[in-house]
Structure 1
Amino acid sequence: MSSFNINAIKDFEVAERFMRYVQVDTESDPNSTSFPSTEKQKKLSRMLVEELLKIGVADAHLDEYGYVYATIPSNTDKDVPVICFCSHVDTSPDCSGKDVKPIIHANYQGQDLALPDDPSVLIKFNEHPDLSNQIGNDIITASGNTLLGADDKAGVAEIMDAARLLMANPEIKHGTIKILFTPDEEIGKGVNHVDLDKLGADFGYTMDGEKAGTIEDETFSADAVRIRIHGVSVHPGFAKGKMQSAIKVASEIIQALPKDRLSPETTSKKEGFVHPNHIQGGVDKAEIDFIIRDHVTAHLQKHEDELRAIVESVVSKYPGVAYDFTVNEQYRNMKEVLDQYPEIMDVGLEAITRAGLSAERRSIRGGTDGSRLSFMGLPCPNVFAGGHAFHGKMEWVSRQDMEKAVCTILHIASIWEERA
């Protein structure tokens, strides 16, 4: 074990970095045909490259697709697997990420947190269980008009601060460390153009999880379904017996979905769901976008068959209406890959324990870049970044949890070197 006491580090910069990064608007756009989906994501990525170069990470660069690649060279004679740490720079389009104003609520004492720009947005102690673990900590929120961006600028800031500390403290022995920052994770395209040969890593860890101390080796498997309804458009003044409105058919399909199961609001743990997340159209044509999720990949087909049966039942009442049903694979449960490399999770769990936390292996009701990276050849579990209440105005993170995440990164790098 290294003689350097990682847990004794006091000169963290992670919170300050985080608060700087969240003020850069990096919202991704699911309707864009460009990559990255929004050019503004590159503004933060350029900042990260400049900061990496400043701390001595000489090969840091931004490629044409908006990926940041960087290498911290090995400082040991051992043959250590090359480890990558990855986070995404974009924020969710579900809530505005423009003009984020981060606020520190210092020395939190268990009170509900009102946000000044919209006092109706109240982060209630009894509705956010992990607040009970934050007494005395410094809570960071947005001001009430936007999301915060802890998903995943907390992870970005943690990797950046860990990189600074590794470069400044050669006593922490480690193999070659790769850094990867991706765009467009929130719209399911985060690794569409990543160059794994150029990255050159053996294993990875995304820093994109929630509660401090957790590491996730299991995600949903995910498909997207688009249903396109073709109606019959007629001038409404002469429509009797002729018009068949696509938007009404689409609405009837939504109404016919199960009310007490198979939806995000009625499921938990490892239960899957069928979720309509976008609808648009008019009389002539309407589209409904669904996300289909389950931890058991084979169950996706079952859910899609049930959805198709609902569509067919509704459309059968309208003889002039037709529909298209298109399924696109998004990602698969990374556990199918990670179970083949148990040492990755072993190191992650030990690193969390060494950081002074109670380590907890979890499954996630969602996905990360690590889901697809694992199937692309870079096995990659998901480590906590400390954020909570993602994608909304009540998002929050604590300074102390981010500092623990930085320590966890340093311990992961150190343990791989020890075991080599």
Structure 2
Amino acid sequence: MDKLLTMMDVEGKLRKVGWAFKNLGSLMKVAVGIFRSSKGTLNKKFKNPALRELLHNTITAFGISMEESSFLLWCLAELSYHRGGAWYPTGGGGAFSASLGEHFQKNGGELLLNHTVTSINVKKEGFRKKIADVVTCRDKKGNEKKFTGKIVVNACDIETLAKELVPEGTFKKRWIKRVSTRDTMDSMFCVYLGLDIDVRDYGVDTQDIWHIHPQNRTPEIREKIDYQFDYSVLPKDIITVYNNSPDDTACPPGESVISIYVTTKYDGWEGLLEDGKKGPKYKETKEKCGWQLVDRLAKIINIPDLRDHVKVMVCATPLTLKRFSGAKNGTPLGYRWTKKNLLPPMMWGTNVKNLYVTGQLTFPCGGMPVVMLTGSLVAKGILKKLKKMKEKEAKQREKK
């Protein structure tokens, strides 16, 4: 895995070729892993049923079967999870985002909140080259701001970039088709609870996490989740639950925060819209599903009157996740982890000279770790490019 990431950091075509020859054995193993299913490969290696189930847990928790998942993607997800850990940042995702914003501003960056990028202008430079020169943003009141820069990085949905933000004809039709037709991982229905009790007083373990198991994700259960919106009879293993107990910053002493997640399809919730808007039917279904999961959780953790202890309940559907993140189909995990979606890979450069793409749709597995990884790799490449540009400008000044 380390070698694979090292290759991505190698600059220059000749150096990449040299690196590939030097590590040909490792690359061959990676290539074979792309086309093998996770289940077939693991079942050949491990005979103990309990161990197999443990090894399957992380990927199946994300709503994808071991039969359709590529073994290479299992390695990226599962091994990195167990090797590096999957720790939630103290203070939650908001604290993590805030720290990034502070760091960005300390280093001279201008941070805009509640703004949406509406267009990226691309012009021709020379005979064949294209360059992005002006980025336009708009706030909630409709006020526009324009920015220019040597480098433009798109960290959101690639399909939105290709179809809505840049002028028509900027990207090749084949590239647009590739980013538009790849399936995404399922989205999620999320329930966030603020309780007026400390669940540890009721015997709930501080590290309690329940993952989805493949044997419980039957077609009947899938139908109930995705299109019937009936969460009242879901098996224990079909939901994922996190509690805040290890993080004392999440709520006052004597209280608890619990998050519940169920992977679900985007199109089912989209079908509840009335004339494209969230009407009474959508809102009633959202609240009903939230309370169904509260009642289900009450039985799982043996707190019969859990409803009475809910001070705050916030629910998020796949449509909510799309609205806040801009992610295609509200997916928190990028493209579906199948062999078909691995090749050809999505790379970070584009046919626009100074326009880069990063984020969960540019690298297998998706999620926050992939966003940080791809952002870091793109940033390193950009710094090298800017250094060369400065050196070139300095030489030109010397000649004058």
Query: TM-score if structure 2 supplies the norm length?
Result: 0.33
Query: TM-score if structure 1 supplies the norm length?
Result: 0.31
Greater fraction of residues in strand: 1
Greater fraction of residues in helix: 2
Higher relative contact order (CA 8 A, sep 6+): 1
